Amino acid sequence: MPMPVPLSERSAGVLTGTVQSVQIGCVKPLGAEAVPSGFVKRPVEGDVAVRQRGLAGDEQADLKVHGGRDKAVYSYPGEHYVAWRAELPQHSATLVPGGFGENLTTIGLDERNVCIGDIVRTGSSLLQVTEFRQPCFKLSLRFGDNRLPKAMLKSGRCGWYARVLEEGLVRRGAPVSVEQRPNPTWTISRFLEMFVSRSASIDDLIELAELPGLARHWRQTAQEHLREIIHGYEASGAVEE
């Protein structure tokens, strides 16, 4: 397993940004079907505690698919909202920081320059990037538009989840800096594109099965695919005794 590389030792590679806004939300009925959800969040001022299970005061309705240690904090690039408003002007009022249910809206970071496993100092907390955000039907309910989940995946503007390595405080305007990068070739964009196109090679799966920082369920998925491939080879007689 490669050792994490401190970006501070490579000044040209230091990646920094800023927290544009911080959001939390309580579980409430969402959409016409009144599905329980913590999707709708409100901006908060001042220091907010970042804990192992997420931001203080933030709630998730279905912990089987939302929240948990690998999805404790959801970050989204604030710059993306400009493009979304241009593409979907009918939703402009909602396409503002926090509109996609993120906890942290950031400036200066995006899916092309953030990698799986990045260790990120955010305010006084320390986070580790685990996976891209895979949109579900609740995104459609939030906007009253069934096109949104597919549009988010197609655009590549999904944001990312992180686990909390060190609890701390975060607030609007807090600095964000990537301190370690164990997987410099695995950007969020690369991982997302591989998922959308279903183009993972055997070499990709071997890497993902043990990729430092990657969410546990993705590592398990890669391991399962590898076992299926090996079983297929064995069943076809392609693997020699």
Tell whether 118 and 75 lie within a shared domain: yes
Nearest in space to 218 (alpha carbons), one of 207, 209, 227? 209
Helix (H) or strand (E) holding 106: strand 104-107
Tell whether 30 and 145 lie within a shared domain: yes
The answer to whether the CB of 161 falls within 8 A of the CB of 73 is yes
Strands 104-107 and 168-170: unpaired
Tell whether 143 and 93 lie within a shared domain: yes
Tell whether 166 and 219 lie within a shared domain: no
* Rounded Cα–Cα distance for residues 185 and 198 (Å): 18
Tell whether 167 and 206 lie within a shared domain: no
Nearest in space to 171 (alpha carbons), one of 2, 24, 45? 45
What's the domain count of the chain? 2
Tell whether 132 and 208 lie within a shared domain: no
Distance of CA 9 to the CA centre of its chain: 26
**Nearby residues of 150 by Cβ (< 8 Å), 6 or more positions away:** none
Domain that holds residue 209: 200-236
- Kindly report, residue by residue over 114-131, the tens digit of the pLDDT: 999 999 999 999 999 999
Q: Is there a domain that residue 195 lies in?
A: no
pLDDT digit of tens for each residue in the chain (241 aa)? 334 444 543 334 579 999 999 999 999 999 988 999 999 999 999 999 999 999 999 999 887 777 899 999 999 999 999 999 999 999 999 999 999 999 999 999 999 999 999 999 999 999 999 999 999 999 999 999 999 999 999 999 999 999 999 999 999 999 999 999 999 999 999 999 999 999 999 999 999 999 999 999 999 999 999 999 887 776 776 555 4
